[in-house]
Amino acid sequence: MRFNEELKRLKVYEAGKPIELVVREFGIEEKDVIKLASNENPYGCSKKAIEAVKKNVEKMNLYPDDSMYELKKKLSNRFLVDSKNIIIGAGSDQILEFATRAILNRDSKVLMSKITFAMYEIYALSQGAKILRSSCYRHDLDEFYDIYKKEKPDIIFICTPNNPTGDALDKKYLYKFLEKVKNCLVIVDGAYMEYTAYKDEKKRVEPKDLIENFENVLYLGTFSKAYGLGGMRVGYGIANQEIIKNLYKLRPPFNITTLSLKAATAALEDEEFVKSSVERNFIQMQRYVNFAIKKGLEYIDSYTNFITYIFPKEISSKEFSNMLLRRGVIVRDLTGYGLNAIRVTIGTKEQNSIFFEKFDEVLNEY
Ligand SMILES: *Cc1c(COP(=O)(O)O)cnc(C)c1O
């Protein structure tokens, strides 16, 4: 049996540890485990989404509406773009997969930031493409442009705000870069844009405006973060029709389940839920900032629902996060990204208090 050569360069993506694992491995009761590792919405999701799922739960025997008419229509109203400019994926991850498969082969190159969302590399490598990275963890678009001119990559990934660092680009700065980049697909991943737009209007990127100005840009959004539907797996891509048409060729039929479609459609009717989640997020975020300052810890100013603490050399983030894990607190260690840092999802008020308490405990023991 022979596997594709490309698989040799691939590592399995390490998702945030599930609560069940901590319960099993450390004998901690489920109610005492807090998961601040996958940037999920700690306030749950819209009640309207739950109602919609309950109402449709008996339709499991039927295939979903493959045209996704309702959800596309809602998204089209929400973003003021035509339904023909929209594709829905099982998470925006699936659209990343379509886009990389649509464009890349063994002769291709992709460009991304030194530290960014791990799936870009995985999908690009699986197509045999060469990975080019900028030298700085922030998106230095001047450096991106230099590399672009020299290497002519086939896809450029721009994650704004960036995961796992939380920093975001000014729209003007992004547009100045996009105006100079032709003949190359630019993927603008706005998985946390609801948070960013609330915190700083200058960093808000609207897909309508983006695709009206740039025919080579694919904007990605998701229901997994601010909308609180991570378990339903729904994301969307917005781009000009030529791009969407080509991505569609790679979409398996019925890629979104009926219940997921219903949940996402209903969630769009409840902007109030998103707004209150985002507001509460930044109130709680301030506690994380204050805590870092009090402890003399370096942190990255965040436009998302997570914050990154960078540790001094004397403290290993890997060891530190394992010590937190044994106390029932799951965070994301960033050693694998080349940063001696942890990424912590901003939880509820109560969860965050526990985090600070356990963090202090580990610090004292370290
Ligand atoms: C969470 C996330 C996604 C996609 O999540 P899905 O659940 O697949 O929609 C995409 N990009 C970034 C940067 C993310 O953090």
**Which CATH number fits the domain that encloses residue 122?**
3.40.640.10
Whether residue 257 sits in one domain with residue 116: yes
Mutate to test the pocket of ligand 1, among 163, 188, 303 (most ligand atoms within 8 A of CB): 163
Per-residue pLDDT at 126: 94
Output the CA 96–ligand 1 centroid distance in Å. Answer: 10
CATH number of the domain bearing residue 276 = 3.90.1150.10
Whether residue 40 sits in one domain with residue 52: no
Whether residue 328 sits in one domain with residue 279: yes
Nearest-atom index, ligand 1, CA of 233: 7
Distance between CA atoms of 355 and 41, rounded to whole angstroms? 16
Whether residue 187 sits in one domain with residue 177: yes
Residues 157/126, Cβ–Cβ less than 8 Å: no
Per-residue pLDDT at 136: 87
Per-residue pLDDT at 91: 98
Boundary of a domain, candidates 270, 304, 319: 270
Distance between CA atoms of 175 and 173, rounded to whole angstroms? 5
Considering the chain, what is the average pLDDT of its residues?
Answer: 96
Per-residue pLDDT at 63: 97
Residues 309/341, Cβ–Cβ less than 8 Å: yes
Strand, coil or helix: 35: strand
Whether residue 332 sits in one domain with residue 198: no
Nearest-atom index, ligand 1, CA of 189: 11
pLDDT in tens, 129-165: 999 999 988 899 999 999 999 999 999 999 999 999 9
Residues 213/175, Cβ–Cβ less than 8 Å: yes
Mutate to test the pocket of ligand 1, among 222, 255, 337 (most ligand atoms within 8 A of CB): 222
Per-residue pLDDT at 47: 98
Output the CA 186–ligand 1 centroid distance in Å. Answer: 17
Per-residue pLDDT at 27: 86
Whether residue 308 sits in one domain with residue 182: no
Q: What is the domain range of residue 38? A: 5-44+272-364
pLDDT in tens, 94-107: 999 999 999 999 99
Which residues does a 6 A CB cutoff place in the pocket of ligand 1?
91-93, 117, 159, 163, 189, 191, 222, 224-225, 230, 235
Whether residue 277 sits in one domain with residue 262: no
Distance of CA 192 to the CA centre of its chain: 6
**pLDDT confidence band for 253 (50 / 70 / 90):** very high
Per-residue pLDDT at 31: 87
Per-residue pLDDT at 10: 87
Query: Phi and psi of 304, rounded to 5°?
Result: -135, -160
Boundary of a domain, candidates 220, 254, 270: 270
Boundary of a domain, candidates 254, 270, 286: 270
Whether residue 96 sits in one domain with residue 172: yes
Whether residue 115 sits in one domain with residue 101: yes
Please state the length of the chain: 366
Percent of the chain with pLDDT over 70: 100
pLDDT in tens, 11-64: 887 777 788 888 888 888 888 899 999 999 999 999 999 999 999 999 999 999
Whether residue 160 sits in one domain with residue 103: yes
Output the CA 224–ligand 1 centroid distance in Å. Answer: 7
Whether residue 173 sits in one domain with residue 226: yes
**Number of domains the chain contains:** 2
Per-residue pLDDT at 29: 87
Single-letter residue type at 151: E
Per-residue pLDDT at 239: 98
Residues 202/170, Cβ–Cβ less than 8 Å: yes
Residue 14 burial (10 A CB sphere; 0-12, 13-18, 19+) = exposed
Whether residue 168 sits in one domain with residue 298: no
Helical spans, DSSP H, in the chain = 19-26, 47-56, 69-79, 92-103, 118-126, 141-151, 171-178, 193-199, 207-213, 241-248, 258-267, 271-295, 317-326, 349-365
Mutate to test the pocket of ligand 1, among 117, 256, 305 (most ligand atoms within 8 A of CB): 117
Half-sphere exposure of 151 (CA within 13 A, CB side): 22
Nearest-atom index, ligand 1, CA of 90: 8
